[in-house]
């Protein structure tokens, strides 16, 4: 049996509000050399019967409990790698997509065309715009608005070693129309070269399964950079992500606090804990010294805030400390295969 060149993976957890529209956009692609794999984390919303009735060709893996975004995607990636001949993984790809994404009909065609000319690139991302909708659970009254406000055009690293979505919240006015290198790709929708994922594999995981959810895409982008793989932004490949209609991302202190308070406590817990784990795993010592004052001020401020104002703050701190021995092993594995100098990595964090 010959397996397609792209394996599209979707991790679901009670995602039926969005999944039918995503699958419709996938099946409407002009590029057809793909298969779809859904890894479900113990949903109770009828996904299995929906797929059996409407998409029997889709491979469906069901977990007995919620294993998290990272572990579930690792299941899917291992499944794909096991079915591709080892000598062909350089030209095979895994597309990770959130359930709340919509692809334009030429998304795959546009992004695949670029992969052929860039064998040195390990991850590719398109122009991800924001979508919002009303009555998404009601087919009769459902309305989906595909906006011209940017959700992500790649990952944007900063000198204090925080990473945000490049262009997030800006109106798309042609300011991101060039194919160009970026630090990495948002995990909401990212195309990875199979050989690149195999190259940063640690035992049976590609995404760090200890992260569970949040920041695992940034950690993977950083590890791919260490391993010598570039990331490429492809503006002609357009997709949409449900994240609401908001203006440009605010960078002021009050705005950041307000934004954080609007998020769930569980999300803030994973985001904070995983940020610390990611720094411990990936930040080279010499680069830490170059930006020591700024990193120190940022992280002391973060620690003080979460300990005082967030009920999950102490838990995030304690779990991060408890996981340091495990993260040290992963760090050593990453650093043993480094192909880029600290200086090469430092150029991104400006």
Q: What is the CATH number of the domain that holds 152?
A: 3.90.550.10
Same domain, 128 and 225: yes
For residue 262, the model assigns a pLDDT of 46
Domain identity same for 106 and 130 = yes
pLDDT of residue 139: 66
Q: Is the dihedral of CA 90, 199, 231, 155 positive or negative?
A: positive
206/314 same-domain check: no
Tell whether 93 and 210 lie within a shared domain. Answer: yes
Residue range(s) defining the domain that contains residue 313: 253-346
Task: Say what the pLDDT of residue 138 is.
Answer: 64
| Residue finishing a domain among 177, 210, 242 | 242
Among 179, 209, 242, the domain boundary falls at 242
Specify whether 184 is located in the same domain as 305.
Answer: no
Task: State the Cα–Cα distance between residues 90 and 152, nearest whole angstrom.
Answer: 26
Is 247 a member of any domain?
no
Say if CB 349 and CB 158 are below 8 A apart: yes
* Tens-digit pLDDT string for the chain (350 aa): 467 899 999 999 999 999 999 999 999 999 999 999 999 999 999 999 999 999 999 999 999 999 999 999 999 999 999 999 888 889 999 999 999 999 999 999 999 999 989 999 999 999 999 998 776 666 655 788 899 999 999 999 999 999 999 999 999 999 999 999 999 999 999 999 999 999 999 999 999 999 999 999 999 999 999 999 999 999 999 999 997 544 444 445 455 545 544 457 899 999 999 999 999 999 999 999 999 999 999 999 999 999 999 889 999 999 999 999 999 999 999 999 899 999 999 999 98
Whether residue 58 is found in the same domain as residue 168: yes
| Residue 127 counted as domain residue | yes
Is residue 221 located within the same domain as residue 265? no
What is the predicted pLDDT for the residue at 137? 66
Burial (CB count within 10 angstroms: exposed 0-12, middle 13-18, buried 19+), residue 211: buried
Residues 88 and 228 in one domain: yes
Q: What is the predicted pLDDT for the residue at 238?
A: 98
Task: Give the number of domains in the chain.
Answer: 2
**In terms of domains, do 200 and 315 share one?**
no
Q: What is the pLDDT of residue 341?
A: 96
Residue 328 CA to residue 35 CA, distance in Å, equals 36
């Amino acid at each position: 049996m010959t397996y397609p060149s792209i394996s599209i993976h979707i991790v679901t957890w009670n995602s039926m509000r969005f999944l039918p529209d995503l699958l419709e956009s996938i099946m409407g692609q002009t590029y057809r050399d793909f298969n779809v794999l859904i890894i479900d984390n113990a949903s109770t919303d009828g996904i299995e019967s929906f797929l059996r009735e409407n998409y029997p060709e889709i491979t469906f893996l069901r977990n007995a409990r919620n294993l998290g975004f990272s572990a579930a995607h690792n299941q899917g990636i291992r499944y794909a790698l096991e079915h591709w001949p080892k000598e062909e993984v350089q030209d095979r790809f895994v597309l990770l997509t959130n359930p709340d994404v919509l692809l334009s009909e030429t998304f795959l065609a546009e992004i695949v065309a670029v992969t052929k000319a860039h064998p040195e690139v390990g991850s590719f991302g398109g122009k991800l715009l924001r979508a919002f909708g009303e009555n998404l659970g009601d087919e009769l009254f459902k309305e989906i608005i595909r906006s011209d406000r940017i959700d992500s055009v790649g990952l944007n690293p900063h000198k204090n070693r925080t990473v945000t979505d490049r262009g997030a919240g800006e109106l798309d006015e042609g300011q991101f129309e060039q194919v160009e290198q970026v630090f990495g790709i948002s995990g909401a929708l990212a195309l990875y070269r199979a050989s690149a994922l195999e190259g940063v594999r640690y035992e049976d995981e590609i995404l760090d399964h200890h992260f569970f959810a949040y920041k695992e895409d940034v950690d993977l982008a950083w590890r791919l950079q260490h391993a010598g793989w570039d990331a490429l932004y492809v503006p002609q490949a357009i997709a949409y992500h449900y994240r609401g209609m908001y203006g440009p991302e605010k960078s002021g202190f009050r705005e950041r606090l307000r934004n954080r308070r609007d998020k769930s406590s569980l999300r803030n817990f994973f985001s904070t804990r995983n940020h610390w784990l990611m720094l411990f795993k990936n930040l080279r010592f010499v680069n830490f010294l170059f930006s020591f004052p700024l990193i120190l001020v940022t992280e002391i401020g973060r620690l003080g805030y979460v300990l005082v104002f967030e009920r999950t703050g102490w838990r995030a701190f304690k779990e991060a400390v408890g996981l340091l021995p495990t993260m040290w092993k992963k760090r050593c594995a990453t650093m043993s295969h480094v192909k880029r100098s600290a200086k090469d990595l430092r150029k991104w964090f400006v």
